Structure 1
Amino acid sequence: MKDAEARALLRDLFDAALAAARPATCLAPYIEKLQPPKGRTIVIGAGKASAAMAKAVEDQWPHALEGLVVTRYGYGEACRRIEIVEAAHPVPDEKGRAAAGRILERVKGHTPDDLVLCLISGGASALLALPAPGLTLADKQEVNRALLKSGANIVEMNTVRKHLSAIKGGRLAIAAQPARVLSWLISDVPNDDPGVIGSGPTVPDRTTFADALAVLSKYRIDAPAAVRAHLEKGAAGGIEETPKPGDPRMAHVETIVVATPQRSLDAAAAVARKRGVEVIVLGDNLEGEARELGAEHAQKAIEHARRASKPTVILSGGETTVTVRGKGRGGRNVEYLLGEAIEANGAPGIWGLAADTDGVDGAEDIAGGLFTPDSLARAHAMGRDPKAMLDDNDGHSFFEMLGDSIVTGPTKTNVNDFRATLIAP
């Protein structure tokens, strides 16, 4: 397979994965079935896909509604009846804090005849940044930065976030009682656990204050004194826990996951098969250190290339982690991809693509990258050492200098990471 053909195929697979997760598409069957309540409909939400979800509801549901949604800067939509606020991600800012406070107030004081429609996607954990009493936004920002660098996985990170929040971990649903609460979620987490997506603001929480303290201890995070005191007080029973499964206050809460990473992998697989390419799907919930998973997948590709009789693509999703030790520009997808490229070591007939479906890998407005059989050779010809760049967590610089970054702009959806390794000897 020629290089241009391989590149085009990988990008077509990624585009198919994105298309399957577009809010206007994946919400349509649920909007069609939604019956208007006797009372008011209040739409609230948070996440990188939440504004596009709100726009889909406005455009496709003909009944009266109002609301407020917070999304990442650049991910807004022009809505008429639902207010859209843009705020910072992945480290929260004052606009996110203020919007979260307004959302919490917006759901209070309703009746059983009213409907609170909650639209949640990945990114909501940072965007719904309402500190618990006694904590400040600065406290949450410091902990968030430390968690992002620590190598903690998303379940661990959100365990901490829930217990530092006045709105996450089911507290938003409690505040909305006695109204009916219906949540539509776009999953960006392994195993599509509703309690982890966006830190589950309307979902019962299985984790505890003690669990949050254990995460800080495991990753040796030196949290602000107020944060540690808050968690220790909660673990000792001095602060009310998040609502747990079976809590009667959650009886009128319904949660539906409307888009998942697996559906996007299925869409990409269908495109590959139509092109005569064999498909191997490793799963939609892969975790682990990004560079190590990349190396593992390179080994799989090399082994498959020895016996392959036709082009094959290996697909996977999930959310890896990065332990930040360097000072480079990196995200988990380019870290994975550079690790894979180094392990493949220029093996002929192997290409790889890894990108975040939200269009943002780490803190960069770059979705990810693509490596080719000659990526390492081109880097060496430019006087750069790929292994040194990986050690410096500098994946974005690596693929950018080769002209192999993937830039989508705001995709306005988020079903986690997409990875495809093409073997076409």
Structure 2
Amino acid sequence: MTDAVVAQTTASEKKEIRLHLNNDGSHYVKATFLNQTWVRYNQSNPGTTVFGTPKAETFDIGLRRTRLQLYGQLTDRIFFYTQFGQNNFNYLSSRKVGAFFHDALTEYALAPGYVSVGAGLTAWSGLSRFASPSVGSILGMDAPLYQQATNDATDEFLRKLSLYAKGKAGKLDYRLALTQPMPIQTSNLFTALDSTFSNFSQRPPKKQYQGYFMYQFLDQEGNTTPYMTGSYLGTKRVFNLGAGFIAQPDAMWHRQRTGSGVGDTVSTDLRLWAVDVFYDTPLNPSAGTALTAYASFSHYDYGPGYLRMTGVMNPANGVVAHQATLAGAGNAFPMYGTGQVYYAQVGYLTPRTWLGDDQGALQPYFALMYADYDRLQDGMAVTNLGVNWLLKGHTSKITLDWQNRPLFTRAGVATGRRSQVTAQYQIYF
């Protein structure tokens, strides 16, 4: 899974690796670094194995994300952005491989501040706020990954080969993109099996159209990069309403059901849309308290019966077939599917005096994802409860998170729940 290191630069970010190219600093090249280390205990899904050995529970250490960014404003109109790194490296990962360019784009400002156009491998995409999350500033342990709706199916960890336009019109912030999807055959999700359940088509992909629009009622958020801040920690008053979409003709296919079995292959369009609201505000500036809240509704149409299981940095690699539930091994659950998804998160930044001025602050949070997927007979709810210890804002942060996820039978009936507890240390500058 994916995302970018930092979002937009704020006035409070003064210490940075930055080379000025002109006297006033408006032309510059900047570098950043991020590393997120996870230490995790997981209750395994039924039948889980690691190299054939049954594992009712696992304990692992891993690198969730390690990233380097280099980007800059070369002239008044020319901007470039690159990001290099890797995701999800744990004890089961292949060694000495995995780092790659997440982003590589060039951009030209036709009307600076109003209209910029660019192209490359990029996260300028549509749908919803956290389809392009700033992972260095997310509220919880992880972003709501279901919003990265084609992640590693027809894109590269949410990044897409796109021609895009972005900018502002008053308080309206917009982004539009024309994308060349990657073929499913080059993804590790590829399977050649035909099914009456929808999956990504193996025919050459047609162009994808996407957009996202935000009306920013209070403070204006920057749009230098596509990545959206998860929590401003009381440095801004932000209230945004957003709406977005992704559409692609004939992106999906499935086999028709007939009385005698299966029939012809039928192509269907990929049609996704979402609406969301984001609110972030200081409560008592002298005490340092703040509130962060986000809610979203998504309607996903991947075609009949589409359902995708995902386990972030899965700590297992096998399952005993006759014991397995629908999601399979490790920590996986049905994250993506045709249907509706409701999501909400809220966090509270506590007074600095709770720990002392030199010990940072605490930020407890709660998140809920509830999905009504067509292929499941019961609703799917995943909850996260945790706390951030902000030693130095997002620059040095320890997070403790408890996640509780559902189990389903192969018929889509809820049959129990499992948990995982994760501690993360994040550093970025």
Structure 1 and Structure 2 fold alike (TM over 0.5) = no
More helix by share: 1
TM-score interval w.r.t. the shorter chain?
Answer: under 0.3
TM-score, normalization by structure 2: 0.22
Q: TM-score, normalised by structure 1?
A: 0.22
